Structure 1
Amino acid sequence: MSSASALPQTLKSITATKIKELSKQRALFEKRRDEITKAANKAPDIRTKARILLEGVTRLKGHPNDALDKDDDDVESDDPEGAAGSDEDSNGERAGNQNIRRFLLQSRYDPSVTRSVLEEWIARLERELGFLGVKHEHATFYSDLVTEWLSNLDGREGNENEEKSEASGSGFEEVGRKEMHEQRAMWESLVFTTADINPDDVERYLESLFTRTKLSKQALDELREKIKNFGTEFMTRRKPISVDTLKWVTNALLKSDLLATEKAAILKEFLRNKEVAQEVVDVLNMRLASLDSWNWGPEGIPMEMRRQLNGKYRVFMDPDLLDSLFHQYIGVEWCVAFRGAFHAFFCTRAWKSFSRPIPKRDRERRQYFLNEQRPQSGLDDYRKHVYQRDYFLSQLPTSVDEGVRSYDDEGNDEGNTAKNPVETKHSLLHLLITESIIHTTLRGEFTVIRSDFKWFGPSLPHATILAVLKFFGVQKEWLDFFRVFLEAPVRFVQDGPDATPQVRKRGIPMSYALSTCFGEAVLFCMDYAVNQHADGAFLYRLHDDFWFWGEEKTCVKAWKAMSQFAQVMGIEFNEEKTGTVRLGEKNDGSSKDGESDPLPKGEIRWGFLKLDSKEGAFVIDQEQVDAHIEELRRQLSACKSVSAWVQAWNSYFARFFANNFARPAMCFGRRHIDMVASTLSRIEHELFPTSTDDGATTTTAPASFSGSVTDYLRNVIAERFNVHDLPDGFFYFPVELGGLELRNPFIPFLAMREDIKQSPKRTLEKAFLEEEDRYHAAKERFEKDGSSLPKPYDDDDDDAPTTFFSFEEYTRYREVHSRPLLDAYRYLIRVPGEIGISKTPEFQSSQARLDENIDKTGTRGVISSKWQKMSPYWKWVAELYHAGMLRKYGGLAAVDREFMPLGVVKVLREGKVRWQG
């Protein structure tokens, strides 16, 4: 396993130079330390010994004036405030040493300063001297870690092991290669075969779907006009691309997985040099001016297969860099245009409303009795808001600056408040469980369908794509260009440079903005088909992964609409990910037997979770977890450096496992967190079993006595670097403080557990109680003051109704009007906050001695000198592990920042992990 970020040779050279300089500084420190120790041991009296140690320690720390006890008036202090005797010093150690200097002067005259006090000062100064030595040793050790990481970036050791595994005829790599060849064969059978699709059938289907009413036909005409005008304006721009344009195009391209590491580095260099950037802009404008004659090179576009953690392989093209920029620019522009046009269509009356219709008489009676000038918005309105904000065309950007949204991107760990794609997927699960609680409580039944399309990207017919684009108003000139883009000549790099290119006849290439645009344009038609046939209900879709829920009869309508769409468009459902689950008292919890069941069979799964019909909740599939424990063990064994091992561990255990257990939500309750924490504990124990007295291993010991990841890394470091007695904090503390920054996934889950105060069932019960309370309050107001609104309906009686309407009528349209129900819904889908750990006086004292420069490293919220800037995760880590750091290093930092190659570490950590196999 190797990082995808390979440092240039020049950076390796700079790193070696800095490490060499650090070695010189350590040698100089050790020489001076020995001189100080010898001088102190030869001191004629205890007071002189204390003075020698004080002067030596303060000089080594770079503050020699802190120890001056005579002729102060003749010396310019490096710290006027400190030398002048300030009572407040932000650095506790410096203040303590300055105090010792004052007390030593006092001891010359005052007999109350006893020998035992002097001995205490000497012991403290000797500890400081020892800590300085430990930090220099740690700096050398950390440099060794970085050197090991750099030396293994090319992956040569990993390749040698891979060859050995292949030669032996067994082992993981052979299995991985078998899977790769099988998936490649399937991919080629799709991509290089023309689909049997009649574009006229697609057009007739779309025509019947989008012109069902006068309103829908008008909305379609307006959509087509927007697309046509955009295409024309785009085509006629004289000089559309500028250096500023190149910046957002570059940023969007770098966020994708399209570019190899070397090309990404080149692209960054383009932006640093204005002259080069202008040359690139000129070339792109020339290509745009001759759009009708653009074509791929005849030599074929190289392709590679990359293994994902879920065991699937994806095929990525490796195009010319200028072509990549060219297509990214066009693709993002078209993505934004289509999103705008489709969003406008969504806001028309052509899009059916899901909100339940309320008869005029019932509406007027409610307004009259409650004295409401305007009815309150409720759950139905909020459902539409959430759908439109998070799930409607979620892959398409709203602006060119945003760039195309990644389907799999996990976002940053710290300092990123925007909901990333993984969080959006988790939110979908939260919605599902919350909806199941609401539906089963109000109606007694709830049905869920989940599916996606089989090999959607490689199998999507070109004829389907072009027919859909043509239907929405894309001009012939653009259709011709898109056809050329789709029919790319490609060849696998594994086949060698002499392999004959083959022309793609089906499918869309990975990570292209144009591919996202085409896929979303096609799938938008399914969104609308479900809306029209399923009474305005929402199809929750993330790319080609889609979910539908509600009453069973509505689900049947939606599934029929989806099935018809798939048949016409020439794509198939993925049976492995297709299933139906029925929940509630009116259902038996499973799909019906026999061919009469109109809904698809199968389980509903996401990540490591499966929806349990009896529990009415997601549970972890432990068998699937077991398979990934073995996979993680193999991936970790392929790491040839400690730092690469940590990077892989963080990606797989702390991120991949945790993400596929889903983020907690109030609707999940504490039970979900307990289930996740127990499973994470089991995974770690399986990977690092406990050793018994007879040398055997066991995997049944309690978690508190089991082996751990830190024990494993301690042993590895001791064997490779002869470094011992490392505290737990070293492994978990941030790199800025000289730590390995091993991520602990238990902490976020347990911190969120603290915020869950009641069960989901109790939340809904309290909402209904609040409804009843509001009803009686409204009744009392009406009976006392009446209503200021006219009577709700015409009749022969001139008097307005005097009997307040019943509680049954008050709650008849709960999902339309009930504020308590809406509040309960919003509470249930909420992700619990991470309850911050309390700051203890012991940590506060250590924190005050931290270098304030660490606060200037960014917005990661890591352990710093300011508690309020730290994230809940880092507060927890700091309080949990700081005591061991104090014992080992005398402070929270294992090494001073200037003594470690921090810049190199951060560059290495930016690289993505490339998984073996």
Structure 2
Amino acid sequence: MLKEAVELRIDELGRAKDAFIRHYQSNATSAANDNTIVRAKKLLEEITTLNPELDNDDDLDIMARYINQASTNHVISESKVLKFEQQLRGKLSKHQNRLEVSTLHCQLLREALNTGYTDISAFDKPESVDLEDDFEVVEQELDEVLERFEKETFAARDTNTEEVKAYLSDLLDDGGDLSKFEELRDELQTFETELQTDGLEMDQDFLMWCILDILKNGIISEERKKTLEGYLQSPIALRELVSVLNIKPVRNFAYKDTEKGLPVTALQNADGHYSIVVEEGVIDSLFLRALGMRWAMKLKSCLNQFKRYSSAFMSPNLSEGEIDKRSYFLDRDPGEIPTVNAPCSIWPPNFPPVPMPPPPMDMGMGMPPPPPPPPPAAMVVPSKKRYKSMKNQLCYPPPPPPSHCGSIAYRRHANYTQQYFMSRLPTEIGSTPNVKPAEEVQAGLIKTLAVERRIRKGLDGQAHAGSAHFKSLASLLPHQTILTVLEFLGFSQSSLDLFGSFLSAKLNIGPAVRGAPDRVLPRARGVPDGHALELVFTEAVMFFLELALSKKTTSVLYRLKDSCYFVGNDEEYKLYQYEVRTFAKIMGLEVEMEETQSIGLLSLDTGIETDKVVTYAHRIKKQLQGCNSVLEWVGLWNNTIGTYAAHLFGPLANVFGKAHQEEVKETYNVIYDIIFNGGSLTAHVESLLATSGLTNPPVSIDALVYLPQAYGGLGVKNPFITLGLAQHLPDDPNADLITYLEDEDLYYKRAAENYALFDANVYARKLNYIFNNDKARMDAAVGPGRDLNIFMTKEELVANREKTTYPNLLTPPGYPYVFTSTKLPSLYDVYRDMLSEPKDEMPESEKITDEVTRLEDKGDMESWRSLSAEDKWVLQLYGDECFEKFGGLEIWIGEHVPQEVLKLVRGVAWEDDDGSSDTTEP
């Protein structure tokens, strides 16, 4: 049906183009004997009548007036009318060029539909590349995969549930955290009750999201893929599916034909490697996907709420003794402490109370009215059905603002919360889940780890960093561990029974091997990787490892699914290793500890890993060679090589510097040489277009290839554009940190000089003002028997530089206090600048920006501010050529092209719908 509809659109475009060419060519021949004014008039009338889309051009109105006047007066010469005629024919030529480009897109779309387009979203699921195509190798691999699957899935691993419960309880021994965890349990139980009572209560948008999520992130059979795509193309089928799924009971869910076992099949991915897939029925699969996403969104909401108020997750603060010590040695002379009329008798102010401001001058207009109160916060209720669920959610007052928000400890924990904490779990936006793209999380983590390592090495002399990888986390996770953790979180027995039946479902291993008899066995361990419930189970378990590390250290544990990364001092690093091993042992997991940190194609210890790059390039080359159409090739290229892979090489940030940028450029040169055999990207795409019938394009091949698709180009991406836009990267990434340490030395020297200027009376006033003559408090802060005439040591000064900021140094003695020129060392600024990714601000062409503004919101064309830096670069590079050949930046007639289908074939539609993906491995 879809293909037939597209063919109708394409045929209609072909007829319109042929009619356009035939009409104007024949008229040009017949009008050859007419005089110039008559020809111009006829041409103008035909354009207005036959091509009203060209009549919107303001120039036509102006030319029409002059041409009409040319026959009645002698002001306008015939040569000028001839120029008008040439301009009119130029407009027709530009319109014809746009029709040609539109035809090209339709031809490429027809080619893709006839050859069968491939889902390009799962290109980098495999973690290795095997360049052998020998049949025996593939068969041997299938045997190995099946053997590993049976060994992992049907062999139970018992865990001590009492030991798991005791471990989890010990993490919440703090009274405040325990009370907040009880609130988390209550909220989960309320949601659970409503879910079991009311069902899924999904709408059509939510179901579409679930279908797209399965298509994007799962390896499924071609038959299942076509079925799901058919649902997406039929609104009636979607509505019926929604009705079926909403009446399906949550409490009593059971697989269809349970006794026969769920078929286990072996499917090949894009590289030809086998993956074992448990095939659920369509209804069961969609129901469990929706159920898992509902639970995943709720779990993230509750865990975020708990983290917000948990003392274990809070960034470290200064103790009372540390605050007192810093105040004594670094604060100014308190002077005479007022004894009367103090607004606060417990903590007197440093200065006398500020007098009230004078009343405003009488301007003869009266006092202005007071400002209106702020409007009440609006509660957004996505749907009436879910109002009851939202009504029962707990509302908490916001936590007090931190007093150390300028410290890197605060920035570190805020960054962890916003970017990495439970990043795999979706949040609810409107009525659909929203998952942060795994590539984006991974790219940010590479940069964050690099900054943490530089900070540690610069401050401590050595960075204690490592990684821990849980082997086959989803496949090897014991069922007893899952159910015990869920019970600890407050899940009721009915939910535990439901999840238990899902985990121990019977599987039929026979269909995985051709001709083998049925073998039905219950699943004894693990959960299918990529399943929605796997997301809930693994994240629920791994949350407690993050809680343990946050409680025991001042650093944070960064995690990408089953891989954990840690950077800290020597003591914290030993605690990290101990906690990870303890967690793995108690939970029944296998973990590999490494002293290095490698993510994507980058080792943070040694740099880009060339061997991995070569393997990766050969793998992508093999996939590109397997593409059946130009559009499939372009989509795969853009998703792999064309878009700069920050999740594989790291972002182009200050922390890596200019040397890393040059290393990445050399790496991409190697990749290009492997894929194109020494040729170029442009030449290769040109050869692909030639095989598709394009021999004489109306514009240079460069503009056609690289112009964004929204403007009519192929939208081919080039990573060298991104690399070229990264300007002003530092030659030495450690320069700011070195400057900071120098500023810190100067600060200590000046602070010691200031302190030496104080006399005994000032010391006495400080003791009285800060400690209130409380000797026990003073001994706790500065130590018993300490000579307070001697300034604090450098080690004491810098001990808490990550927890707080340095105060301004004031020139003693007494009022008024004048700020000195001593530069304040700011570790926060160093941390922030290392994370930043500078980009070159290109000069903007007014002609190009005006045209973009004119076209914005037409089709998929965006405003200038919304365009990426790469698209701006391309539009300005080829803009003049587009104006010359097409009259503007839009080089096609988008209305004649089936754009929705075109985006679907290119894989763009799915990306726009949701950027989530787990494709983070090279």
- TM more than 0.5: yes
- Which of 288, 308, 330 aligns to 2:250? It is 288
Three-state SS of the structure 2 residue aligned to 1:351 is: helix
CA RMSD of aligned residues (A): 4.3
The more displaced of 638-647 and 650-659 is 650-659
- Compared CA separation, residues 736 and 334, structure 1 to 2 (3 A): closer
- Which of 659, 666, 670 aligns to 1:671? It is 659
Three-state SS of the structure 2 residue aligned to 1:632 is: helix
Q: 5 Å matches for 1:13-92? A: 13-43=4-34, 45-62=35-52
- Compared CA separation, residues 113 and 382, structure 1 to 2 (3 A): same
Contact 1:223-1:342 at 8 Å conserved across structures: no
- Which of 603, 618, 627 aligns to 2:615? It is 627
The more displaced of 464-473 and 218-227 is 218-227
What amino acid sits opposite 1:380 in the alignment?
A
> Are 1:715 and 2:687 matched, yes or no?
yes
Q: 1:393 is matched with which residue? A: 422
Q: 1:507 is matched with which residue? A: 526
Q: 5 Å matches for 1:691-730? A: 699=678, 707-725=679-697, 726-727=699-700, 728-730=702-704
> Are 1:549 and 2:542 matched, yes or no?
no
> Are 1:818 and 2:805 matched, yes or no?
yes
Q: 1:276 is matched with which residue? A: 240
- Compared CA separation, residues 789 and 176, structure 1 to 2 (3 A): farther
Contact 1:296-1:488 at 8 Å conserved across structures: no
Cα distance in 2 for partners of 1:135, 1:63 equals 13
- Compared CA separation, residues 177 and 99, structure 1 to 2 (3 A): farther
Q: 1:558 is matched with which residue? A: 576
Three-state SS of the structure 2 residue aligned to 1:791 is: helix
Contact 1:368-1:791 at 8 Å conserved across structures: no
What amino acid sits opposite 1:387 in the alignment?
Y
Deviation track 1:250-276 (CA, whole Å, cap 9, x = no partner) reads 635643535743454466579767973
- Compared CA separation, residues 229 and 621, structure 1 to 2 (3 A): closer
Cα distance in 1 for partners of 2:299, 2:653 equals 33
Cα distance in 2 for partners of 1:453, 1:113 equals 83
**Per-residue deviation, 1:242:** 6.2
Cα distance in 2 for partners of 1:254, 1:605 equals 31
Three-state SS of the structure 1 residue aligned to 2:468 is: strand
Contact 2:245-2:283 at 8 Å conserved across structures: no
The more displaced of 667-676 and 47-56 is 47-56
What amino acid sits opposite 1:510 in the alignment?
D
What amino acid sits opposite 1:36 in the alignment?
N
Q: 5 Å matches for 1:899-914? A: 899-910=896-907
- Which of 149, 153, 161 aligns to 1:187? It is 149
- Compared CA separation, residues 283 and 368, structure 1 to 2 (3 A): same
> Are 1:837 and 2:842 matched, yes or no?
yes
Q: 5 Å matches for 1:112-123? A: 113-114=76-77, 116-123=79-86
The more displaced of 827-836 and 376-385 is 827-836
Contact 2:204-2:239 at 8 Å conserved across structures: no
Deviation track 1:713-766 (CA, whole Å, cap 9, x = no partner) reads 212222331422452121122333322121222223332x12646743232244
Three-state SS of the structure 2 residue aligned to 1:792 is: helix
The more displaced of 178-187 and 556-565 is 178-187
Contact 1:396-1:516 at 8 Å conserved across structures: yes
Cα distance in 1 for partners of 2:45, 2:191 equals 76
Cα distance in 2 for partners of 1:513, 1:571 equals 21
Cα distance in 2 for partners of 1:208, 1:141 equals 64
Contact 2:180-2:309 at 8 Å conserved across structures: no
Cα distance in 2 for partners of 1:296, 1:436 equals 54
Q: Tell which has more relative contact order, 1 or 2 (C-alpha 8 A, sep 6+).
A: 2
Contact 1:755-1:832 at 8 Å conserved across structures: no
Long gaps (5+) in structure 1: 1-9, 67-90, 157-168, 407-418, 582-603, 614-618, 690-698, 700-706
- Compared CA separation, residues 268 and 842, structure 1 to 2 (3 A): closer
- Compared CA separation, residues 812 and 128, structure 1 to 2 (3 A): same
Deviation track 1:23-65 (CA, whole Å, cap 9, x = no partner) reads 221221122112221134222x34444444444455553268x
Deviation track 1:488-516 (CA, whole Å, cap 9, x = no partner) reads 23346654697444332111112333212
Cα distance in 1 for partners of 2:466, 2:41 equals 79
- Compared CA separation, residues 47 and 774, structure 1 to 2 (3 A): farther
Q: 5 Å matches for 1:479-490? A: 479-490=496-507
Three-state SS of the structure 2 residue aligned to 1:445 is: coil
Cα distance in 1 for partners of 2:283, 2:828 equals 51
Cα distance in 2 for partners of 1:760, 1:327 equals 48
Cα distance in 1 for partners of 2:553, 2:872 equals 49
TM-score w.r.t. the length of structure 2 is 0.75
Three-state SS of the structure 2 residue aligned to 1:867 is: coil
Contact 1:22-1:140 at 8 Å conserved across structures: yes
Contact 1:304-1:315 at 8 Å conserved across structures: yes
- Compared CA separation, residues 177 and 755, structure 1 to 2 (3 A): farther
- Which of 481, 485, 501 aligns to 1:468? It is 485
- Compared CA separation, residues 20 and 295, structure 1 to 2 (3 A): closer
What amino acid sits opposite 1:762 in the alignment?
A
Three-state SS of the structure 2 residue aligned to 1:814 is: coil
**Per-residue deviation, 1:19:** 1.6
- Which of 180, 192, 197 aligns to 1:239? It is 197
**Per-residue deviation, 1:222:** 6.2
Q: 5 Å matches for 1:209-224? A: 210-211=169-170, 214-215=173-174, 219-220=177-178, 223=181
Deviation track 1:66-119 (CA, whole Å, cap 9, x = no partner) reads 6xxxxxxxxxxxxxxxxxxxxxxxx7xx33333333443555577675555444
Q: 1:261 is matched with which residue? A: 225
Cα distance in 2 for partners of 1:744, 1:172 equals 34
- Which of 557, 563, 568 aligns to 2:586? It is 568
Contact 2:98-2:891 at 8 Å conserved across structures: yes
- Which of 770, 776, 792 aligns to 2:770? It is 792
Cα distance in 2 for partners of 1:454, 1:350 equals 31
The more displaced of 756-765 and 896-905 is 756-765
- Which of 737, 741, 749 aligns to 1:764? It is 737
Three-state SS of the structure 2 residue aligned to 1:857 is: coil
The more displaced of 479-488 and 837-846 is 837-846
Cα distance in 2 for partners of 1:844, 1:246 equals 39
**Per-residue deviation, 1:546:** 0.2
Q: 1:827 is matched with which residue? A: 832
**Per-residue deviation, 1:521:** 2.4
> Are 1:324 and 2:285 matched, yes or no?
yes
- Compared CA separation, residues 263 and 240, structure 1 to 2 (3 A): farther
Report the identity percentage: 23
Contact 1:486-1:507 at 8 Å conserved across structures: yes
Contact 1:609-1:620 at 8 Å conserved across structures: yes
Cα distance in 1 for partners of 2:494, 2:774 equals 68
Three-state SS of the structure 1 residue aligned to 2:260 is: coil
The more displaced of 824-833 and 207-216 is 207-216
- Which of 113, 125, 130 aligns to 1:150? It is 113
Cα distance in 2 for partners of 1:901, 1:844 equals 27
Contact 1:203-1:471 at 8 Å conserved across structures: no
Cα distance in 2 for partners of 1:119, 1:867 equals 37
Contact 1:379-1:818 at 8 Å conserved across structures: no
Aligned length: 790
> Are 1:526 and 2:545 matched, yes or no?
yes
TM-score w.r.t. the length of structure 1 is 0.75
Three-state SS of the structure 1 residue aligned to 2:826 is: helix
Deviation track 1:210-263 (CA, whole Å, cap 9, x = no partner) reads 3378526x8457636743774477247673236456754663564353574345
Q: 5 Å matches for 1:561-600? A: 561-574=579-592, 578-581=593-596
Q: 1:640 is matched with which residue? A: 628
**Per-residue deviation, 1:525:** 3.2
Contact 2:656-2:733 at 8 Å conserved across structures: yes
Cα distance in 2 for partners of 1:120, 1:209 equals 85
**Per-residue deviation, 1:120:** 3.6
What amino acid sits opposite 1:646 in the alignment?
V
Long gaps (5+) in structure 2: 120-130, 333-348, 351-401, 779-786, 807-824, 912-916
- Which of 449, 473, 477 aligns to 2:466? It is 449
